Structures are given as structure tokens and as C-alpha cells.
Amino acid sequence: MKKNQFLLVGAALLIVGTAWAANKVFGNKGESSIQIEQVGSNLEVRKTEVKYITSYIGDYSKNVLLKATTNTKYNTGAEGSDGTSVVEARSAKDFFGAPIWTVAADGQDVSYVNEELIRIVRYGCCGDFTRSALYNVDDGQTPATYLDDDFFTISVPNGGLNDRYMAQIDDSQAPKDKNGKTYMGTIAYFDNHQKKGLVRFYVQLPQGWGAQIMDVNLVNTDPSSKNSLRDKKMDLWDSDGNKDAKSAFHGFAMTGSIYLENKKLDLKVPVSNDQIDTSGIQVSPDLEFEVVL
């Protein structure tokens, strides 16, 4: 196999910011480089990017500087790409000290979700899901990894409460078969630190048939509700100003569908008292579920 390296390009950007301690300046570099090689009749492209993410630095309650180093590789003769990312978090209390946490994960993109969470995205290929691993800004712990765009934020206006989330998640602990039925997917309810509950779904598939949970959405359970959903964020105006999480987070549900040959199965997972309402879960006949709290 013929390999010819014919292009190597590098660029560097110096970012300097004033630290919170008086008369101290923290300085480092963000870098980007690319290498392209001829591999047979195709090109293999390798990229490395080091960037500093400052979306919330100096604002809100978080003064954390994130350094993301991402390596990606793809071949022009194949679909998809491979990538790994390493994220280091440094506190404004001491930009010069060791990182307060470091995580490494498969993924090609790193960004903030909000002031509490970041995500590392591994893009799907060839029919597979895109997976977005969430990490808490305070400690680097991961509450969940969600699939594609099946991720919704739930917020209580004027309540001072941390957000909640519902999503279809990557659930590696789920049994692939249960009572002769095949695992279809998992709906989870979680906060910035951990899962508060999840529901796994199973169905008996026709021979040679594949399926998954689709058409995922977040809905109000009360037709007269004032809650509003926009850009995958639901504001619970029915709980406006409520500072008690247990009574504030209620009145919404995640829905989805599974399509089989000549059949559509529906599911609905409601939340009440800041937890999954197990007694209110609704599913089509032939669809089995398991609740894990």
C-alpha cells in the first residue's frame, strides 16, 4: 500500500487571561494542526485541536476554565470518523495548579450544555446513534450519555432550583433480552449529578426485524398547563417561583414510538414529585417495560 505524506499544516493561538488573584496572569496556547496522507487511492486526514472553552468563565456561579484536546481521523474513502477528546478543568481559584478534574472519552466535539454541564459528542455513522456524554463542571462526573437529539431540559422559572433532564440514553447495563423480548431502549430522568430513574423497554420482534425508540418528545400531561416547550427546553410555569423540587417538578412526560411491520407501539413516561411516576407509565400492548430507580 502506497503512503505519501504531502501536507502538514499547523497553527497556534495564544490565549492570555487575567486570573482572579491580583497581579497574576495565566497564559497558555490553543493549537490546531492537520496532517494528510495518501493511502492507496484515498486520503487519510488526522487533525489535532487544543482549545480553551470560556463560555461561563467569570459569569454565573462557575469560574472554571476548560481545556479540550481533540484528535480526529477520517479516510476520504470511508464513512464516519474516529475521535478522542481529553478535557481538563481548572478553577479560577488557582489556574496555575493541577486540574481539578480530567476526563478522556471517545468523541469529536466538546462544548457547554449550560453552566452546570459539558458534553463530549461522538458522531454516529452508518445507522448508529450519535452519543453525547454529559459531565458535571464541578467534578467531572457523568450523569448520563444521551442518544442523537433525544435530550430535553426542564427548568422551574424563578425557583432557584437546578435543572432536570429527560432523554433517551445509552444504557450499557440493560439486558439485551427479557422474557423472550428484545431490548429497544431506555428513557431516563436525571439531574446534574446522577440518574433519578430510568425505564427500559422490550418487545418481541418479527424474524429479521430491527427497531428502536423514535419520535422522542417532551409533553405536558395537563391540557390546561401553562408550561412551555421551546428548543428542547420546558419551562414549568405551573411551578413558577416554587423552591421545593419535589412539588415543582411534575406535570410532564417523555413520549416515543417503536415502528414494527404494520404496527406502531407508543410509550409515555411521566414525572411526578421529582421522580418517574411508575404508576402513570403508559405503553401499547405487546410493549414491556422495566423501571429502575
Asked which of 105, 130, 155 is the last residue of a domain, the reply is 130
Kind and range of the H or E element at 243? none
Share of the chain above pLDDT 70, in %: 88
Structure confidence at residue 126 (pLDDT): 79
Asked which of 130, 162, 178 is the last residue of a domain, the reply is 130
Q: Please tell me which residue, 119 or 8, carries the higher pLDDT value.
A: 119
Q: For 279-290, what is each residue's pLDDT tens digit?
A: 999 999 999 999
Domain-embedded: residue 137: no
Domain-embedded: residue 99: yes
DSSP-based three-state secondary structure for 108: coil
Asked if residue 158 and residue 272 are part of one domain, the reply reads: yes
Asked if residue 200 and residue 114 are part of one domain, the reply reads: no
Q: For 51-62, what is each residue's pLDDT tens digit?
A: 988 777 665 556
In which band, very low, low, confident or very high, does the pLDDT at 3 lie, cut at 50, 70 and 90? very low
Domain-embedded: residue 136: no
Asked if residue 167 and residue 111 are part of one domain, the reply reads: no
Domain-embedded: residue 280: yes
Q: Using the Cα atoms of residue 160, residue 112, residue 120 and residue 131 in order, give the sign of their dihedral.
A: positive
Q: For 115-169, what is each residue's pLDDT tens digit?
A: 899 999 999 887 789 999 999 999 999 999 999 999 999 999 999 999 999 999 9
Q: Using the predicted structure, report yes or no on whether residue 5 has a pLDDT greater than 60.
A: no
> Residue 258 is part of which domain span?
143-293
Domain-embedded: residue 158: yes
Residue 45 to residue 40: CA distance in whole angstroms: 13
Residues 125, 52: contact at Cβ < 8 Å? no
Q: Using the Cα atoms of residue 272, residue 278, residue 282 and residue 288 in order, give the sign of their dihedral.
A: positive
Report the DSSP beta bridge partners of residue 177: 182
Asked if residue 290 and residue 154 are part of one domain, the reply reads: yes
Burial letters for 180-206: b for 16+ Cβ neighbours within 10 Å, e otherwise? Answer: eeebbbbbbbbbbeebbbbbbbbbeee
Asked if residue 272 and residue 203 are part of one domain, the reply reads: yes
Structure confidence at residue 57 (pLDDT): 64
Structure confidence at residue 185 (pLDDT): 98
Asked if residue 246 and residue 183 are part of one domain, the reply reads: yes
Q: 3-state SS string over 122-166?
A: ECCCCCCCCEEEEEECCCCCCCCEEEEEEEEEEECCCCCCCCEEE
Asked if residue 173 and residue 281 are part of one domain, the reply reads: yes
Structure confidence at residue 61 (pLDDT): 58
Domain-embedded: residue 20: yes
Asked if residue 184 and residue 125 are part of one domain, the reply reads: no
Structure confidence at residue 10 (pLDDT): 41
- Cell 464513512 locates to 79
Domain count, the chain: 2
Asked which of 130, 160, 195 is the last residue of a domain, the reply is 130
Asked if residue 187 and residue 108 are part of one domain, the reply reads: no
Report the DSSP beta bridge partners of residue 9: 34
Reported pTM = 0.86
